[in-house]
Each structure stands twice: as C-alpha cells, then as structure tokens.
Amino acid sequence: MAILTKEEKAQIINSHIRSLEFNKYNLEIDIIQENAKETPSTETINSINTQKSEVSDQIAALTSELTKVNLLTE
C-alpha cells in the first residue's frame, strides 16, 4: 500500500482549496448577475450568500488541516 507523503497531502489539500476559491468567486459573480436584474431576488441572493459562507467554512477547515499536515514529520 502506497502512503502519501507530506508534500502529496499538502498538494491535494491545496488543490481542494483552490477549487473552493473558484466556487466562491463563481458565487460572487452569481450575485453580480442577480443584482443586474431589474428585480433581483432577495431569496436568491440570500441563498448564494449562504453558499458563500459554507464555502468559506470549508476553506477554513482545509486550511486548518493543511497546517496539521505541514507540521507532520516524515
């Protein structure tokens, strides 16, 4: 069984964080689009903001895990 190195684990976590950052930016664009409508939906904007908050929480969790991985000794 192959064991992942500290560097490989960090790369995987960083890849997930990067993906979440893309998702978060996409949500920000969704808000811009919604606000561009003649009658923006408050419900839609609230939903998007909730999603952004969840993504931020996920990024924070992964950043915490990355810190733990970086402290590992090989």
Provide, rounded to the nearest whole percent, the portion of the chain with pLDDT above 70: 100
Position 17 in a domain = yes
Domain-located, residue 1: no
Residue at 31 is within a domain = yes
Q: Provide the 10 A C-beta neighbour count for residue 13.
A: 19
Instruction: Give this prediction's pTM.
Output: 0.90
Q: Tokens standing for 30?
A: 């969704």
The tally of domains found in the chain comes to 1
Q: Among positive and negative, which fits the CA dihedral 33, 36, 37, 40?
A: positive
What range does the domain containing 65 cover?
6-37+46-71
Confidence tier at 74 by pLDDT (50, 70, 90): confident
What kind and span of H or E run contains 58? helix 42-71
Structure tokens given for 32: 């811009």
